[in-house]
Amino acid sequence: MHQPTVVTRNRKPLQPNPLARFELRIGDLRVYYEVDEMRRVVEIRAVGIKDRNRVLIGGEEVKLS
């Protein structure tokens, strides 16, 4: 909610992909979201679990790159 597009140690923009434009890291969790700056809305697209070099969303591996 607070400055969702500012890059930090735990928040980063993603390479173009069909899921989302931004990733927020919270421990092993990853939150994938979009930002509509005109409407001032953050839309959470998915929450996944990071397991080494894999991301699992809903129990299925998702490739983001």
The pLDDT-based confidence of 47 (bands split at 50, 70, 90) is very high
Query: Cα dihedral sign for 65, 63, 43, 6?
Result: negative
CB-CB contact of 31 with 6 (8 Å): no
Q: If you ran DSSP here, which 8-state letter would residue 3 be given? A: S
Q: Where are the extended beta strands (E) located within 1-65?
A: 11-13, 22-26, 29-36, 41-51, 54-57, 60-62
What is the reported pLDDT for 1? Answer: 66
What is the reported pLDDT for 52? Answer: 86
The pLDDT-based confidence of 23 (bands split at 50, 70, 90) is very high
Provide the whole-model pTM: 0.89
One-letter amino acid at 40 equals R
Question: Where along the chain do its domains lie?
Answer: 11-62
